[in-house]
Structure 1
Amino acid sequence: MAAGEQRIDKWLFFARVVKSRSLAQKLAVSGAVRVNREKISHAARLVRPGDVLTISVHDRIRVLKVLDSGERRGPAPEAALLFEDLTPTRALAPAGPSTEEG
């Protein structure tokens, strides 16, 4: 394995995307994870810094850019250092038609 590479199931677990490594494996195998827009089908897929993950989990889509590989499942502030969240924020609903008269 090259420096900075890590199995996607371990990375998802260390980054606290899911609660257990077995759930991370199931997520990867289910087709709910894309790496650089490519759907993956196995938990052994390697990710490296710079990869962009699109993950469908808990009825929402998350887009995460991998910044580093993890060494352990640490506290949330430590896990947050492993990725940059690129998930677009939901736009506010547009206001109704203007009632100004003029």
Structure 2
Amino acid sequence: MSDATARVDAWLWAVRIYKTRSLATAACRAGHVRVGGEKAKAAQPVRPGDEVRVRINGFDKILVVRQTISKRVGAALVAASVDDQTPPPPPRELTAFVPTRDRGAGRPTKRDRRNIEKLRGRYDDYEGV
């Protein structure tokens, strides 16, 4: 490969989006990586100026390739290789609250299940426990 291109999985690993190259390859296979709006395979080349969108934890990270690198380098060179255009995350007040049970709490009781259904909006006519 010439200096003007790099594999998208190697570039994502080199700019520290993924901890290992195999994780970057798996993300490409799963369809979490897009280059120029199209789903990218792991071996797809990226060039300076390409927009790479990566879905991590349910949010898209928008990256623009400034320089192609295929090996891990120092943090200063990483900053010169990528332009992060990701918008700031929404405030916590606007994100949905997902109730969770304590680990090891066991199977929900009948009362717990009724409360869960009540939270989900089912059993509107249910009066009490």
Q: Sort the TM-score into its range (normalised by shorter chain).
A: 0.7 to 0.9
Does structure 1 conserve the Cα–Cα contact (< 8 Å) formed by 2:49 and 2:65?
yes
Percent identity, aligned pairs only, is: 35
Quote how far apart the aligned CAs of 1:81 are. Answer: 1.5
Q: Take 1:22 and 1:64, find their aligned partners in 2: how far apart are those partners? A: 20
> TM-score w.r.t. structure 2 length?
0.64
Aligned length: 93
The DSSP-based 3-state class of the residue aligned with 1:26 is helix
Does structure 1 conserve the Cα–Cα contact (< 8 Å) formed by 2:6 and 2:70?
no
Q: Which runs of 4+ in 1 moved over 6 A?
A: none
Residue 45 of structure 2 corresponds to 46
CA root-mean-square deviation: 2.0
Q: Quick check: 1:14 aligned with 2:14?
A: yes
Residue 84 of structure 2 corresponds to 85
Q: Take 2:69 and 2:20, find their aligned partners in 1: how far apart are those partners? A: 14
The one-letter code sitting in structure 1 at the alignment partner of 2:65 is: V
Runs of 5+ consecutive residues of structure 2 not aligned to the other structure: 94-129
Q: Taking CA–CA contacts closer than 8 Å with sequence separation of 6 or more, which of the two structures ends up with the larger relative contact order? A: 1
Structure number having the greater strand percentage = 1
